[in-house]
A = this chain, B = another copy of it.
Amino acid sequence: MGFVTDRPIELTPLVVQVQAPDRGGVASFLGLVRDHHEGRGVLRLDYSAYGPMAEAECGRIVAEAEARWQVAVALRHRVGTLQVGDVAVAVAAAGGHRDEAFAACRYVIEEVKRRVPIWKREYYADGTVGWVDPTAAVQHA
């Protein structure tokens, strides 16, 4: 399927993938690696995935969005070592109307965070390393 990749993610090919002459609106989202997490400086991080299930779950999420709204959706999540500013996840949703495009884009990123088996190990500026647990976090992007 190719939802999960160890290569840098570019947004433009995803937009091209979903656009069509009858689709007037493309909403997209990029999740980027931030330089901090709960007040600690982040140098880089490693994303790892349960690959076959991550592919399957991404496919289910995209299919759900495309069935619920009149949209085409593209989705990529990166794994491996990422630096601050790198794109970790990208979603593009194209529809005839912007309401649908925004709703579908938002749905996909929320469901990716909730359901796709991917884990994040952060390397902090203070030399420590830790698995990120969003269920324990005060807030997250």
Tallying the copies of this chain within the complex gives: 2
- In the complex, A22 has a CB within 8 A of chain B: yes
Indicate if the CB atoms of A31 and B98 lie closer than 8 Å. yes
- In the complex, A26 has a CB within 8 A of chain B: yes
Instruction: Give Cα A30 to B18, complex, Å.
Output: 12
User: What mask results when residues 72 to 113 of chain A are scored 1 for a CB within 8 Å of chain B, else 0?
Assistant: 000000000000110000000000111001100110010000
List chain B residues, Cβ under 8 A from A121.
Answer: none
Indicate if the CB atoms of A27 and B28 lie closer than 8 Å. yes
Indicate if the CB atoms of B106 and A102 lie closer than 8 Å. yes
Among A24-62, those with CB < 8 Å from B are: 24-36
User: What mask results when residues 111 to 141 of chain A are scored 1 for a CB within 8 Å of chain B, else 0?
Assistant: 0000000000000000000000000000111
